[in-house]
């Protein structure tokens, strides 16, 4: 019994010595590092879980939200629009001719034509047609206005007189803006306006003038 205390002291000193060795220090550092890595992984998982939950909530809110009728928006979000387009493609016939026939018949309906989406499409199509027509007129004027022969001048006068009518000739700002669009001076537009009635008057005079009776033969 007398030898127990020194044996315990020896064991304690031995464990302290083992705990202060290099391998023990490395093991402790490794364990601490693993704990930190596990904590970081848990935090990342938690953040990812919260992000996905919030994302699902936003998607549900977007799907359940109704569009405002004042703004004329038919779909509440892009996902709703994509799903409806997919359903429409699946419901349409396979051949392209039948698809075109079905879509044209559906769009020509009076109720569909009054909808804001179709109206917007028609308005944009009309604007594009007007722009194309103006571009063609611009091309013709640029190819003609620098030429000096009589045919080019006549073509330029015909174009300017046909484009600038009474609705534009009465307003100076309208004539200036039209001249800027066509790339022509406002004077050329005014000349075209003046030439048109003059030519009409000449033609009417030539048409209505009576020829006098020829003198009788002696």
Q: pLDDT tens digits for 78-117?
A: 888 888 888 888 888 888 888 888 887 777 665 555 555 5
Assess if residue 105 is contained within a domain.
yes
Spatial contact of 74 and 67, defined as CB atoms under 8 Å apart? yes
- Domain for residue 134, yes or no? yes
Q: Are residues 136 and 168 in the same domain?
A: no
- Helix, strand or coil for residue 199? helix
One domain for residues 157 and 201: yes
Instruction: Enumerate residues 6+ apart whose C-beta is below 8 A from 122.
Output: 113
Does residue 140 share a domain with residue 153?
no
How many angstroms from the chain centroid is the CA of residue 123?
14
**Residue 168 covered by a domain:** yes
Closest of 86, 72, 45, 78 to residue 59, by C-alpha = 78
Per-state percent for the chain, helix, strand, coil, to nearest 5: 80, 0, 20
Residue 186's domain spans which residues?
Answer: 149-207
Provide the token pair at 108. 């020509």
79: in domain: no
Q: Which residue has the tokens 């402790």?
A: 28
What dihedral do alpha carbons 123, 127, 130, 136 form, nearest 10°? -140
Q: What is the pLDDT of residue 131?
A: 72
123 in the same domain as 155: no
Low-confidence spans in the chain with pLDDT less than 70: 1-19, 63-73, 108-130, 162-172, 174, 185-218
Q: Report residue 75: phi and psi, to 5°.
A: -115, 145
pLDDT at 69: 47
In a domain, 184, yes or no: yes
72: alpha, beta or left, given left = phi > 0 and alpha = psi -120 to 50? Answer: left
What distance in Å separates the CA atoms of residue 69 and residue 71, rounded to the nearest whole number? 6
DSSP designation for 171: -
How many independent structural domains does the chain possess?
Answer: 2
- Residue 63 is predicted with a pLDDT of 67
Q: Is 159 exposed, middle or buried, given 0-12, 13-18 or 19+ CB atoms closer than 10 A?
A: buried
Let me know: does 161 contact 141? Beta carbons within 8 Å.
no
Residues 162 and 186 in one domain: yes
192 and 160 share one domain: yes
Query: Do residue 121 and residue 162 come from a single domain?
Result: no
């Amino acid at each position: 019994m007398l030898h127990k205390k020194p044996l315990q002291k020896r064991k304690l000193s031995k464990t302290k010595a083992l705990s202060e060795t290099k391998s023990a220090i490395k093991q402790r550092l490794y364990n601490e590092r693993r704990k930190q890595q596990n904590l970081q992984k848990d935090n990342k998982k938690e953040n990812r879980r919260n992000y996905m939950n919030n994302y699902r909530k936003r998607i549900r809110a977007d799907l359940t939200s109704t569009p405002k009728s004042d703004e004329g928006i038919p779909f509440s979000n892009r996902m709703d629009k994509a799903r409806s387009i997919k359903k429409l493609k699946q419901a349409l016939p396979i051949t392209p001719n039948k698809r075109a026939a079905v879509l044209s018949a559906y769009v020509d309906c009076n109720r569909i034509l009054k909808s804001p989406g179709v109206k917007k499409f028609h308005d944009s199509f009309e604007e594009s047609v007007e722009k194309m027509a103006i571009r063609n007129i611009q091309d013709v004027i640029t190819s003609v206005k620098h030429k000096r022969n009589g045919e080019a001048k006549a073509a330029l006068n015909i174009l300017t007189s046909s484009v600038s009518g009474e609705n534009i000739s009465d307003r100076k700002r309208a004539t200036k803006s039209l001249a800027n669009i066509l790339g022509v001076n406002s004077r050329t537009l005014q000349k075209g306006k003046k030439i048109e009635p003059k030519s009409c008057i000449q033609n009417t005079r030539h048409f209505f003038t009576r020829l006098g009776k020829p003198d009788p033969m002696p």
